[in-house]
């Protein structure tokens, strides 16, 4: 072979190939967005308000640097895709910096009332009313008369209408309601409680300690498993202010057990002129027995004649965090004299959401319009269809298996212990379950599931149709990322 000019030696051959490669690489690297470009994308815009600009900048730089490296390592992306991936990664890094920054999450834990996840999600109407109330509102004014009225008069009326009680009061939560009632009506006097009902609700709420804090004296009667009406009667003295029944909301007793019904306690109370307080907690309004769920209802307690019934706003009532007291006007109105009432009072946003929730209960459409009740009574086959749709849309790397399986959802939040709510979920096997749950938590919105026998399980009973797209997207991303990380 003859050469015109230089005969290319191995060195220059190599140089040429390298030059071409460098040119290709430079071309590829040009697809990387500038920091400013990433910062300008809409999905990052909102983040700046809660996390410092410096942190946003650092996360953006890190994400761009990571993708620069991936391109140098030979991965190919289109300009649009790389921007999208960098934005996603920046968001993920940001949410990992401050895992406490309050944000919407996808609850696939299988627990409907998850206290760590804010218990009941609010109805659309409640959200709308809260937004309206963010402005100036007549929270303590009657617009017809121009006079001051009780804070939350509207909610009070609705609660009376709904429960059949003469009067109602709203405070911060059911714990506050209990302390307020005990302090206002029984400070320095005795309240009789069965030994089988001295509960701990969680988060430091233990009934004997609640009594100490209120100044009322706890008078225990009966035994852990059996208490009779005559136990209450024998304990009554001139120091007795009330009898209190506490709903065992987070555990159940079986076997050799006995305790009087509320009606028996009410009859005793009437006979001896002693008030009966019913701490229901869960706040179930509708009879849910046709769904296999048995829980005492607020209406049942009021009808049985309890002088005061206490329950949470954010458990089965399906509304905002609140403590609701309904009962006889004589006793409920007395609560307004307590300085604790002022300390425990709720804000206008809570009242707005509570009013809307009560209206929905009154409308007859609660099982449809209150997200909590809709999800609780959702047909298992409907959950299965959602699981199958998500499953079909997922793209998973080789070696990882995703299957649709049946499971049991829990009511949670100290309601209906042991209730069996049949549901369906996705089981993801073949990868590090700890790592995958962590990656899922760092998505936006975060996806929360549980680990079961080395697999990640996502119960979709509490996932709405509106969250489906995000779930598919984030689950796909997290699976791929976790898989890559293990491979690295």
Ligand X SMILES: *Cc1c(COP(=O)(O)O)cnc(C)c1O
Determine the 3-state secondary structure of 16 from DSSP. helix
Which residue, among 452, 457, 401, has the nearest Cα to 426 in the 3D structure?
Answer: 457
Determine the 3-state secondary structure of 220 from DSSP. strand
Q: Decide: is 174 part of the binding site for ligand X (CB under 6 A).
A: yes
**Which CB, 279 or 307, lies closer to ligand X?**
279
Contact of 354 with 323, CB cutoff 8 Å = no
Q: Which residues contact 70 (CB under 8 A, 6 or more apart)?
A: none
**Which CB, 202 or 292, lies closer to ligand X?**
202
**Which CB, 265 or 479, lies closer to ligand X?**
265
Nearest residue to the partner ligand X, using Cβ:
281
Interface residue with ligand X among 33, 110, 121, 281 (CB under 6 A) is 281
Q: Decide: is 323 part of the binding site for ligand X (CB under 6 A).
A: yes
Q: Decide: is 320 part of the binding site for ligand X (CB under 6 A).
A: no
**Which CB, 279 or 359, lies closer to ligand X?**
279
**Which CB, 87 or 280, lies closer to ligand X?**
280
Q: Decide: is 350 part of the binding site for ligand X (CB under 6 A).
A: no
Scanning 86-94, 105-113, 218-226, 243-251 for contacts with ligand X by CB under 6 A, the matching segment is 243-251
Q: Taking CB under 6 A as the criterion, which residues in 110-169 touch ligand X?
A: none
**Which CB, 247 or 286, lies closer to ligand X?**
247
Q: Decide: is 245 part of the binding site for ligand X (CB under 6 A).
A: no
Q: Decide: is 214 part of the binding site for ligand X (CB under 6 A).
A: no
**Which CB, 118 or 305, lies closer to ligand X?**
118
Contact of 403 with 426, CB cutoff 8 Å = yes
Which residue, among 29, 27, 89, has the nearest Cα to 62 in the 3D structure?
Answer: 89
Return d(Cα 172, Cα 6) in angstroms, integer: 88
Q: To the nearest whole angstrom, how small is the minimum distance from the Cβ of residue 322 to ligand X?
A: 7
Q: To the nearest whole angstrom, how small is the minimum distance from the Cβ of residue 198 to ligand X?
A: 11
CA angle 31, 36, 39 (to 5 degrees): 105
Scanning 13-21, 53-61, 278-286, 377-385 for contacts with ligand X by CB under 6 A, the matching segment is 278-286
Q: To the nearest whole angstrom, how small is the minimum distance from the Cβ of residue 129 to ligand X?
A: 21
Return d(Cα 249, Cα 205) in angstroms, integer: 13
> What length does the chain have?
488
Q: Decide: is 175 part of the binding site for ligand X (CB under 6 A).
A: yes
Say how many residues touch ligand X, by CB under 6 A: 14
CA angle 198, 200, 201 (to 5 degrees): 125
Q: To the nearest whole angstrom, how small is the minimum distance from the Cβ of residue 404 to ligand X?
A: 33
User: Is residue 240 exposed (0-12), middle (13-18) or buried (19+ Cβ within 10 Å)?
Assistant: buried
User: Which helix (H) or strand (E) element contains residue 275?
Assistant: strand 275-281
**Which CB, 140 or 251, lies closer to ligand X?**
251
Q: Decide: is 282 part of the binding site for ligand X (CB under 6 A).
A: yes
CB atoms within 10 A of CB 131: 11
φ, ψ (nearest 5 deg) of residue 312: -85, 150
Strands 275-281 and 308-312: parallel
Scanning 7-15, 276-284, 440-448, 460-468 for contacts with ligand X by CB under 6 A, the matching segment is 276-284
Interface residue with ligand X among 201, 299, 436, 455 (CB under 6 A) is 201
Interface residue with ligand X among 110, 260, 327, 414 (CB under 6 A) is 414
CA angle 227, 189, 240 (to 5 degrees): 45
List, in sequence order, every beta strand (DSSP E) within 80-141.
105-107
What letters, b where the CB count within 10 A reaches 16 and e where it falls short, cover 309-345? bbbbbbbbbbbbbbbbbbbbeebbebbeebebbeebb
What DSSP line would sit under 330-388, residue for residue?
HHHGGGGGSHHHHHTPPPHHHHHHHHHHHHHHHHT-HHHHSHHHHHHT--HHHHHHHHH
Which residue, among 338, 309, 316, has the nearest Cα to 178 in the 3D structure?
Answer: 309
Q: Decide: is 173 part of the binding site for ligand X (CB under 6 A).
A: yes
Q: To the nearest whole angstrom, how small is the minimum distance from the Cβ of residue 315 to ligand X?
A: 6
Question: In the stretch 246-265, what mask flags binding to ligand X with x, by CB under 6 A?
Answer: xx-x----------------
Interface residue with ligand X among 312, 437, 474, 483 (CB under 6 A) is 312
Scanning 34-42, 255-263, 279-287, 338-346 for contacts with ligand X by CB under 6 A, the matching segment is 279-287
Q: To the nearest whole angstrom, how small is the minimum distance from the Cβ of residue 281 to ligand X?
A: 2
Binding site for ligand X (CB under 6 A): 173-175, 201, 205, 246-247, 249, 279, 281-282, 312, 323, 414
């Amino acid at each position: 072979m003859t050469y015109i000019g230089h005969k290319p030696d191995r060195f220059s051959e190599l140089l040429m190939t390298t030059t071409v490669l460098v040119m290709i690489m430079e071309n590829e690297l040009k697809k990387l967005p500038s920091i400013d470009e990433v910062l300008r994308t809409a999905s990052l815009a909102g983040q700046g308000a809660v996390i410092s600009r410096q942190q946003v900048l650092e996360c953006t730089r890190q994400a761009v640097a990571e993708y620069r490296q991936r391109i140098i390592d030979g991965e190919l992306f289109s300009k649009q895709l790389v921007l999208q991936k960098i934005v996603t990664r920046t968001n993920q890094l940001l949410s990992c910096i401050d895992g406490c920054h309050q944000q919407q999450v996808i609850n696939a834990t299988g627990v409907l009332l998850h206290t760590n996840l804010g218990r009941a999600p609010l109805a659309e109407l409640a959200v709308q009313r809260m937004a309206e109330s963010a402005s100036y509102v007549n929270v303590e004014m009657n617009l017809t008369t121009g006079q001051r009225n009780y804070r939350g008069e509207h909610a009070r009326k609705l609660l009376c209408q709904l429960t059949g009680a003469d009067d109602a009061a709203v405070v911060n939560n059911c714990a506050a309601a209990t302390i307020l009632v005990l302090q206002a009506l029984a400070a320095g006097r005795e309240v009789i409680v069965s030994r089988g009902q001295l509960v701990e609700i969680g988060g430091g709420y233990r009934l004997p300690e609640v009594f100490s804090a209120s100044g009322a004296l706890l008078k225990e009667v009966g035994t852990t498993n059996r208490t009779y009406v005559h136990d209450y009667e024998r304990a009554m003295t001139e120091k007795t202010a009330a009898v209190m029944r506490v709903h065992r909301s987070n555990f159940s007793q079986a076997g050799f057990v006995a305790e009087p019904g509320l009606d028996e306690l009410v009859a005793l109370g009437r006979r001896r002129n002693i008030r009966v307080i019913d701490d229901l907690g869960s706040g179930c309004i509708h009879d849910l027995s046709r769904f296999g769920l048995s829980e005492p209802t607020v209406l049942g307690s009021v009808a049985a004649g309890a002088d005061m019934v206490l329950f949470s706003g954010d458990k089965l009532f399906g509304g905002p965090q609140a403590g609701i007291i309904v009962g006889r006007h004589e006793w409920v109105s007395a609560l307004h004299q307590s300085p604790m009432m002022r300390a425990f009072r709720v804000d206008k946003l809570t009242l707005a959401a509570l009013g809307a929730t009560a209206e929905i209960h009154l409308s007859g459409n609660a099982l449809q319009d209150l997200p909590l009740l809709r999800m609780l009574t959702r047909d298992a086959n409907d959950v299965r269809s959602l699981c199958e749709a998500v499953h079909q849309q997922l793209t998973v790397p080789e070696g990882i298996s995703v299957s649709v399986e049946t499971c049991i959802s829990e009511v949670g939040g100290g309601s209906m212990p042991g209730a069996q709510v049949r549901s369906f979920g996705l089981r993801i096997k073949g990868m590090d379950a700890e790592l995958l749950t962590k990656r899922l938590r760092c998505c936006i919105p975060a996806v929360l599931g549980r680990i079961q026998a080395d697999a990640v399980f996502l119960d979709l009973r509490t996932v709405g149709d509106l969250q489906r797209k995000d779930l598919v997207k984030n689950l796909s991303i997290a699976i791929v990322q976790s898989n890559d990380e293990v491979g690295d």
